[in-house]
Amino acid sequence: EVQLVQSGAEVKKPGESLKISCKGSGYSFTSYWIGWVRQRPGKGLEWMGIIYPGDSNTRYSPSFQGQVTISADKSISTAYLQWSSLKASDTAMYYCVRHGLGGNYYMDVWGKGTTVTVSS
Amino acid sequence: QSVLTQPPSASGTPGQRVTISCSGSSSNIGSNTVNWYQQLPGTAPKLLIYSNNQRPSGVPDRFSGSKSGTSASLAISGLQSEDEADYYCAAWDDSLNVVVFGGGTKLTVL
């Protein structure tokens, strides 16, 4: 079964750092782009950026460039999303997604999400 | 404010056919294919339609998608109570170099 398994919920204080993970299984992890999608409480979906685990080629949405870092370790089929200094506005659900083949950018596999709460 | 425009809500009775619209521009829907996602309450979104009108394996044929110019539509026929969810359209935007989403449409089955 193709799946993305995300790390558990996090509660952090403003200014702290955080790295959440997404482990792929059931498919060739290095052959598909992995992306991250943010959903703030009660709000819609926002695409943050993607990484190609095969060569770590990474692209960011301008809205998130410089705010987060996307990385991957292909040896353990895991992608990461990290912050160096969290803000209250980073409070959200974060989904990792697999982008399907063909250049369409559709997201055919979704993780269950990681809730990040930033509060003093 | 989302780049793609969807109605915030839609509703229908069981068995009815409902459509959800998604309006964009030449840099997104006008030049790229549209994908639709279904988010049931409290769960992660799921791919419903890709490449304008293709259904992934396991998605009932009650769901269909279409695109014309800079707009797209999702149609749900034979509406069922389990279709109550949020629906999002999405497409690549050539100007912004990002995937853009609609704001989402909350479908209520009366």
Model confidence over B69-98: pLDDT tens digits?
999 999 999 999 999 999 999 999 999 999
Pick from A45, A63, A110: CB nearest B46: A110
The Cα of B84 is separated from the nearest Cα of chain A by a number of Å equal to: 16
Exposure letters B38-71 (e unless 16+ CB within 10 A, then b): bbeeeebbbbbbbebeebeeebeeebbbebeebb
The whole-number pLDDT of residue A66 equals: 97
The whole-number pLDDT of residue A100 equals: 87
Cβ-Cβ contacts under 8 Å, A64 against chain B: none
Token pair listed for B86 = 């949020």
| C-alpha to C-alpha distance for B31 and A83, rounded to whole angstroms | 34
pLDDT beneath 50, residues of chain A: none
The whole-number pLDDT of residue A49 equals: 97
Span B43-68, mean pLDDT?
Answer: 97
Cβ–Cβ below 8 Å for A59 and B97: yes
Confidence of residue B1 (pLDDT cuts 50, 70, 90): confident
Classify the C-alpha dihedral B55-B61-B62-B65 as positive or negative: positive
Cβ–Cβ below 8 Å for B33 and A47: no
- Altogether, the residues listed in chain B come to a count of 110
The whole-number pLDDT of residue A62 equals: 94
Cβ–Cβ below 8 Å for A105 and B37: no
Q: What is the largest CA-CA distance in chain B?
A: 41
Query: B74: number of CA atoms within 13 Å, CB side?
Result: 31
CA distances from B57 to A8, A16, A105, B46 (A): 29, 42, 18, 12
Dump pLDDT digits (tens) for A90-116: 999 999 999 988 778 999 999 999 999
The whole-number pLDDT of residue B12 equals: 97
Pick from A45, A61, A105: CB nearest B88: A45
The whole-number pLDDT of residue A104 equals: 82
| C-alpha to C-alpha distance for A95 and A102, rounded to whole angstroms | 21
Residues of A with CB under 8 A from a CB of B: 35, 37, 44-47, 59, 61-63, 95, 100, 102, 104-108, 110-113
The Cα of B13 is separated from the nearest Cα of chain A by a number of Å equal to: 25
**pLDDT at residue B61 tops 90:** yes
The whole-number pLDDT of residue A101 equals: 81
